[in-house]
Chains A and B, each alone.
Chain A
């Protein structure tokens, strides 16, 4: 546990000693602001909820989360520090967990900094704060799932750009499987059961419940198993480097 924390601490430190953290935070907050208030028509909706805010998260994270996670292993490979890390008396799991947790904590900080949106909704009306809480929880899990996928693609290559593109594509698939325009297309030729099965792999389907204020154990299980599977795949990739 101490070793996991040592790795997480170092990783967090490297985010904040480079411009990555600040650039990311500023862009993330600007974009959430733009999508919520302008594109999402937060005011025109006339309802006290954060629906306009959360609905964009699967798309926003699609680009931003891979940008946070792409360096995790690719950079270690490129600079040769992977050799240093892997010859330390730690298990690969400790290294994977430490790195993943550091980036997830960083994303949690970014998410927490969007609190003015929740405050605004509370000032203008009386939203269901339980629903806002579950929305944040779902968003955090969604970010974790994307991040774990990025971890995996980052372990495959020493090139951060390749890691970025691979994880955007993989995460895009996780969205599109349950995205309404795509499922509507499939209605013409596929059986409803098939569509439901494909949609069950989508983060959108599972994120919906959280936005409605429901914590379904199936949704929780989905996100945690995506994270678990992607991190397991990371360990396999690292072992076969």
Chain B
């Protein structure tokens, strides 16, 4: 038995060293996102160190971890931006490395910091995203209208993106991710930089979208796990250290989080630094 205990409390969820079969719903259909032993090195530094998990349709998975723990890197490998050093990602049954176009068609992606072309209008930007997704004519018009309505962008439609507030810019980029009504959503810190009302709206939106899609979103705000997730995965220094429903992880969540992740300024100094 190679089990790795996460914390000493018996309410903690145990994960096997290789792959967890305990928490996964017993379904025979293929998971929408399937990650196996994913590794990413940047030079000598290992950013992601053997992560495996899968996400089914109808799940909202919260990806938690301290800054620099490998959340964004993992998401960039799911969306095909970074090629993995080792391991495999498949989306909707398509291997991202082997059939990138088919996999990317299924994904809607909100990158970190909600990058967008500043000189474009909101409408122009969303139309551009729709065209790259192969939408045209009536389908494009409908997709635009739906995304604008979902992300409450009607009032800024003809404004250029560099004149928008951070909240609107974020929602514009989120609308871009939703434009083709994707089956898989990968959202990198979707609530970062939003005010409390906007955060609330975005969480509700994520929860709603999660009923019919497979959603992965990263955050370091713990209350979001309760508010929007069906399952949470906590990673630290490139490894999964705990996963389960918010209830299974134990409460209060922030205490759990602090106990199982090693803070940057903590007492646990890595050997490399001591030497």
Residues in chain A within 8 A of chain B (CB atoms): 2-3, 6-7, 9-10, 13-14, 17-18, 79-81, 83-84, 86-91
Contact = CB atoms under 8 A, between A and B. Distances in A.
B131 interface: yes
B171 to A, nearest CB: 15
A91 B101 contact: yes
B117 A2 contact: no
B79 A89 contact: no
B111 A6 contact: no
A87 B80 contact: yes
B136 interface: yes
A87 B79 contact: yes
B101 A87 contact: no
B12 interface: no
Given A10-B120, A13-B124, A84-B176, A89 B115 contact: no
16 contacts: A3-B131, A3-B134, A14-B117, A14-B119, A79-B115, A79-B117, A79-B118, A80-B112, A83-B76, A83-B81, A84-B115, A87-B81, A88-B129, A88-B132, A89-B100, A89-B134
Interface in B127-157: 128-129, 131-134, 136
Nearest to B83: A239
Interface of B: 76, 79-81, 100-102, 104-105, 107, 109, 111-113, 115-120, 124, 128-129, 131-134, 136, 160, 173, 176
A133 B105 CA distance: 45
Contacts of A90: 101, 132
Most chain A CB within 10 A, of B113, B129, B134, is at B134
- Shortest Cβ-Cβ A-B pairs, 5 listed: A80-B115, A6-B131, A89-B104, A87-B79, A89-B105
B120 A84 contact: no
Nearest to A239: B83
